[in-house]
């Protein structure tokens, strides 16, 4: 790398992660002469978005041990890891810690992760209530449709799909998910 500045290192880590080259991203992360919050966030996200949930959470703890305070971006990745790993309680405690320990306000992305984990864990009505209480968006409703598919709830899926369509009638995802619920594979 001709110019070895922090921005270049961080961009390479993110790029490697987007191409599912997790080991290469981690090797680069470990070689960095110094790291900032963006470096840590990039590597935590690489793990979270590539299905290495435990590694994402371990790196989050290592970051804290280094004395760095997480940001809302850090928590987005951590919540994604918790959601995909089915860690409902951990997700809730992370949200609470985010608010009380770090003074970070919930973002739409954080709420979407919570809707995702509630849906994945079968708490469909609780996920719906959360979306309704927080003036949901099309992505949150589509996420609920996907969860309804997983847990076999076509009635709630129809309701969630209608809500998703009200935000973006051109988005095909709710249509596809709803169709796959209505006509199961044989």
Domains of the chain: 1-106 (1.25.40.10), 128-186 (no CATH)
pLDDT tens across the length of the chain (186 residues) = 555 789 999 999 999 999 999 999 999 999 999 999 999 999 999 999 999 999 999 999 999 999 999 999 999 999 999 988 888 889 889 999 999 999 999 999 898 989 999 999 999 999 999 999 987 789 999 999 999 999 999 999 999 999 999 988 888 888 788 888 875 554
Residue 142: predicted pLDDT? 95
pTM of the model: 0.81
Residue 186: predicted pLDDT? 46
Residue 169: predicted pLDDT? 84
3-state secondary structure the chain: CCCCCHHHHHHHHHHHHHCCCHHHHHHHHHHCCCCCHHHHHHHHHHHHHCCCHHHHHHHHHHHHHCCCCCCHHHHHHHHHHHHHHCCHHHHHHHHHHHHHCCCCCCCHHHHHHHHHHHHHCCCHHHHHHHHHHCCCCHHHHHHHHHHHHHHCCHHHHHHHHHHHHHHCCCCCHHHHHHHHHHCCCC
């Amino acid at each position: 790398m001709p110019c070895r500045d922090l921005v270049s290192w961080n961009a390479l880590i993110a790029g490697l992660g987007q191409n599912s080259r997790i080991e290469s991203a981690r090797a680069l992360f470990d070689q960095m002469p110094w790291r900032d919050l963006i470096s840590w966030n990039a590597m935590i996200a690489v793990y979270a978005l590539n299905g290495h949930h435990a590694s994402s959470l371990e790196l989050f703890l290592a970051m804290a041990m280094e004395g760095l305070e997480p940001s809302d971006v850090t928590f987005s990745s951590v919540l994604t890891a918790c959601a995909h790993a089915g860690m409902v309680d951990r997700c809730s405690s992370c949200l609470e810690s985010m608010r009380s320990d770090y003074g970070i306000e919930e973002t739409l992305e954080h709420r979407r992760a919570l809707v995702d984990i509630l849906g994945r864990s079968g708490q469909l009505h609780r996920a719906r209530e959360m979306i309704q209480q927080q003036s949901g968006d099309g992505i949150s409703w589509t996420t609920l449709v996907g969860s309804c598919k997983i847990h076999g709830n076509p009635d709630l899926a129809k309701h969630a799909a209608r809500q998703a369509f009200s935000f973006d009638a051109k988005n095909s995802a709710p249509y596809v998910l709803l169709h796959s619920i209505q006509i199961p594979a044989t």
